[in-house]
Amino acid sequence: MGKILVIGASNCGACVMTKKKLSDANIEFDYVVNSEMDETEWKKYRRMALANGKMSMPIIVRDGVLVDLSEVI
Predicted confidence (pLDDT) per residue in 43-58, tens digit: 999 999 999 999 999 9
Confidence grade of residue 2 (pLDDT, cut at 50, 70, 90): confident
Question: How far is residue 6's CA from residue 32's CA, in Å, rounded to a whole number?
Answer: 6
pTM of the model: 0.94
What is the set of domains in the chain, with CATH numbers? 4-61 (3.40.30.10)
E runs forming strands in 1-73: 4-8, 30-33, 59-62, 65-67
For the sheet with 59-62, list strands across it: 30-33, 4-8, 59-62, 65-67
Mean pLDDT of 30-52: 97
